[in-house]
Amino acid sequence: GSEIQEIDQYIDNQASADGESELAGVAKDKNVIYISAESLQTFVLGKEVNGKEITPFLNDLMKDSYYFENFYHQTGQGKTSDSEFIIENSLYPLSRGSVFFTNAQNEYNAVPEILSEYGYTSAVLHANNGSFWNRNVMYESLGYDEFFTEDAYTVNEENSIGWGLDDKAFFDQSVDKLKQLEEPYYAKLITLTNHFPFEMPEEQKSIDELQTGSETLNNYVTTVRYMDEAIQQFFEKLKESGEYEDSVIVIYGDHYGISENHDTATAEFLGKETITPYDHVQLQRVPLFVHVPGHDGEVKSEVSGQIDLKPTVLSMLGVQNNEDITFGTDLFSEDRKEFIALRNGSFVSKDHVYTGGTCYDRETGEVVAEGCQPIKEKVEQELNYSDSIIYGDLFRFFQFEHEEMPKE
């Protein structure tokens, strides 16, 4: 148990958001509705195809939410499952494989488990096979109460696209399931239509495909647009059902959808000559929206990542995590950690982007001689610590503690 003490010490020495959060407790006893937006990358937001916005709804939602424009996914080979692992635990995923498969029986201190002590019901809604990514096993370890798989949905030829139930039907059928959950609830809805190879039937396309050299990128904008419309319909349904006013809605992109194999086409779309390694890191940005009823919109520019979501959500719900081990920090705190590490060891800090052994100025993308080394060491340290926790199942030896925030 001494290694876990060392890691705890390391975490305690990092910036911590001890009650300094701008939004601490604002969502006390409210529902949390997460939307995991499949393969959604930031670079398509605010963009148009032949005069039509790709994401009209999400573009509007920025005016009405906290929108994080420099938010990064931190996933590895476990893709969607890695993003889930990160947001529930504020640990890093593994450098190879999916922790959902390799370490599903570990001891964790995940958000659903913590919230069950505060009277929350937790659920995942995802219209795919329950054993995909070993979810049915892992969700038990994370403390989820309910898992609505494809078996809980009406799926037929008319309402299927690509991988299965289309997002519009999925959200439509999900509202009733949410309504049946005992409040307050913590629910995560995982979309599916915007998944490679981004298939969209001609008659359901609301915008033209792109005309680049990549079929994948060309189709991507049409499925992104479809997901945008599906999310819009979901918001409308939530308003009708009354869930909207009682819920914080958090939308995040799970991981990239367009790989570096499509760099030439991506460069063309973005009006750039080439995609440099610096650009490649910047393309790992995925949108994050935090919608709090009654709060005005605000664009947040700080460097942030999926690892920050657990501490952020817990803080908004008024849960004070006195003894926990999280590698992220509250997004609404002044006192934040200085970098976001990607799983491959690349990182982004306020001033720099580091990747493939080269240090770049974050603003200009120019190569700089120094500045990255001190953070590079911390990133390596942290990724190693997180790996040790997972491979050694070290949370077995740690005493977690949390209490409700005292009322002022």
CB of 196 to ligand GP9, least distance (A): 7
Residues 7-66, interacting with Mn ion (CB under 5 A): 38
CA pair distance 25, 402, nearest whole angstrom: 14
Q: Could you say which of 7, 58, 99, 190 contacts ligand GP9 (CB under 6 A)? A: 190
Is 80 marked active-site? Answer: yes
Per-residue binder mask for Mn ion (CB under 5 A), 217-256, x = binder: -------------------------------------x--
Closest by CA to 322, choosing from 18, 15, 2, 13, is 18
Q: What are 156's two structure tokens?
A: 């037929």
Q: Are 73 and 283 in contact (CB under 8 A)?
A: no
Please say whether the dihedral angle defined by the alpha carbons of residues 195, 200, 205 and 209, taken in this order, is positive or negative.
Answer: positive
Helix axes 79-89, 309-316, angle to 10 degrees: 40
Judged by beta carbon distances under 5 to 8 A according to partner kind, the member of Mn ion, ligand GP9, none in contact with residue 352 is none
Q: What φ, ψ does residue 265 adopt, rounded to 5°?
A: -70, -40
Closest CB 207 distance from ligand GP9, rounded Å? 23
- Among 75, 80, 121, 312, the one annotated catalytic: 80
Q: Of 16, 74, 75, 80, which one interacts with Mn ion (CB under 5 A)?
A: 80
Q: How many degrees, rounded to 5, is the angle at CA 307 between CA 304 and CA 311?
A: 95
* One of 168, 188, 195, 362 touching ligand GP9 (CB under 6 A): 195
Q: Give 79 or 376: the residue with its C-beta nearer to Mn ion.
A: 79
First to last CA, the chain: 37
The reply to whether 382 sits near Mn ion by the rule CB under 5 A is: no
CB of 146 to ligand GP9, least distance (A): 17
Q: Indicate the helix (H) or strand (E) that contains 112.
A: helix 111-116
Closest residue to ligand GP9, based on beta-carbon distance? 79
| For Mn ion, the closer CB: 79 or 285 | 79
Q: Which residues neighbour 208 within 8 Å (Cβ) at sequence distance 6 or greater?
A: 49, 50, 52, 222
Nearest-approach distance from CB 84 to ligand GP9, in angstroms = 8
The H or E element spanning position 359 is: strand 358-361
Rg, C-alpha atoms of the chain: 20
Site for ligand GP9 in 65-104 (CB under 6 A): 79-80
Enumerate residues 111-130 that contact ligand GP9 by CB under 6 A.
126, 128
Residue with Cβ nearer Mn ion (254 or 324): 254
Q: Tell me which residues touch Mn ion (CB under 5 A).
A: 38, 79-80, 254
List the catalytic residues: 80
